[in-house]
Structure 1
Amino acid sequence: MPISMADVAAHAGVSAQTVSRVVNGSPRVDPGTRARVEAAMAALGYRMHRAARALRTGRTRTIGLVVSSLAAVGNSRMLEAVAEVAAQRDYALAVVTLAGARSVGDAFAQLRDQGVDGAIVLNEATTLLRGSDPRATLPLVVVDSPPDDRFAIVQTDHAAGAAVAVGHLLSKGHATVHHVAGPSGSFAARERERGWRAALEDAAARVPAVVRGDWTSRSGFAAASGLAGATAVFVANDQMALGALRAFAEAGRRIPEDIAVVGFDDVVDAAQYRPPLTTVRQAFDALGTRAVATLVAMIEEGAGPSFTALPGQLVVRESSGPGPL
């Protein structure tokens, strides 16, 4: 039989009303009693039925996540991180992809139909969000967005990470660094391009023409054909870098002896590329933790919009090396 509040109350030596207050987050419980009730709940395996809790509190403890597509590694890594942190906080997760919705408005309508308490919007989906205003009914946290006081924003400092990658390559003696950029509609891609350009300009180095891809390894392979004279290239994500590495190898260009390559993201397999890929690590776990924590604070405490930028970290491996002799 399911464990009831009465069972928890008897185990903890408190009233059922006290257990109810703990379950519903009431401040009218002293810390010692709260700890005793929570210990009893854990010992008995008690879980509050979401529908019953929603009737009591007006909240479903469900958060929504809107994403353009899960094909990109960054989006899937963020989904994984958000799902893990939401579960730790006892929130369910409802996911809507824009591929399965007619518009961003339709995506939010689907989430409202599921009774979510708030939502997180990822990456490319944020561009479409700027043309709508679902804030009247949903607290929102946006991952990767230009400044916007309508929403809370959590992001990696893409421009700074890109500048570090370029500085690393210039320090190896390369005269300049070429760039394989992501889609022009992506905020992250634009910021990484901005950081690349600023680092070259600060070093008084030539700024080559940008070659653009679509985040896929196939587009990275195609982009490499436009980099015949390059000795160093900063690629806007690791998937495109994988394609570029293959293209350079097939063209007989040794890495890093003939051309050095740096990516962005530090995907799980980046250390297994041939050669292992130097890249800028995004802290996806930290981004997911911060995004969920920010949203929960908006839902439970009425916190207002905020801005958080987390630094990237350069991870040096074999694909970046000295410039040509």
Structure 2
Amino acid sequence: MKTSDFDYHLPPERIAQTPLEPRHSSRLLVLDRSKPDLTHTTFWNIADYLHPGDLLVVNRTRVIPARIYAQKETGGKVEILLLKRTDDSTWEALVGGKRLIPGKTLYLPNGTTKVDILADLGASRRLVRFSEPVEAYLEKTGEMPLPPYIHERLNDPNRYQTVYADQPGSAAAPTAGLHFTPELLDRLKGMGIGLAEVTLHVGLDTFAPVTEENADEHVIHTEWCEVTPETASQINTAKAAGGRIIAVGTTSVRTLESAAQSAHSGEVVTPYQGSTGLFILPGYTFKAVDAMVTNFHLPRSSLIMLVSAFAGRERILSTYQTAVEMKYRFFSFGDAMLIL
């Protein structure tokens, strides 16, 4: 399977730079795999395609304001982008600058916190240790790490958070969930549609293109995720009653399918906590997910491969071409798809 098989042309002006207000006013393209035609509507109207007893599964991760700045002993400025915490004071991070080798010490502008570089992880990644926990500093001073294709300043950092985000740990937002508002969630609840929560902390590698020509040779990034016993019970109960499991975003898909790998007979998922390296390509048999809400993904990415596994590569590429022609907004702040 060639990586080039998942390429498509996207004019730069189709990449959304700012979010819409209100969130649920974005456009929604509905792809029903059992029908040849596409439907074009708005996200508020997603309720028209859901049924009582269906279960929406959302990722409750919260993006941390992980971009901070430090100084070298010589006074030079250094950008640090925190990627993953490994213990209370140690993080994997992208550190910009020359000669930042293990043994070097940086200093935060607060005048009290030191940053020791412990190891070179390659490709500008470093293992760094703070002299004190840095979370409180991040909340006061850290900047939101927007994706590299967004060039506009985000005036309200909460617009890069879902309205239900409450588990800090991500370097990027699970963007399919950005379209939900409290009003829409209340409307769906009133219709008898359930809501379940999982957690997957998203890493920046989610934006990385697959560089191997043979997609099967790509080693996908690992991410920490969790399906609690309560959520597993919600999913298994809904499925047994005939409801559909509707994953909100590829991160929820990856979490659910990871939790389905060890499910026993009569179960859809089991409780799960830990790293997942599940790489979903065309040919994969989905075990938990019946439908998904997703944004439009980057060419040659593992995410467009995942949605192609669910709906078919040719169908997805044809749908993306239609979306380009109809001026849908793409990527993180863009419009959404519902794949049934």
Instruction: Please state which band the TM-score falls in when normalised by the shorter chain.
Output: 0.3 to 0.5
Higher strand share: 2
- Normalising by structure 2, what TM-score? 0.32
Higher helix share: 1
Which protein, 1 or 2, shows the higher relative CO under an 8 Å CA cutoff with sep ≥ 6?
2
- Normalising by structure 1, what TM-score? 0.33
Which of these two proteins has the greater Rg computed from alpha carbons?
1
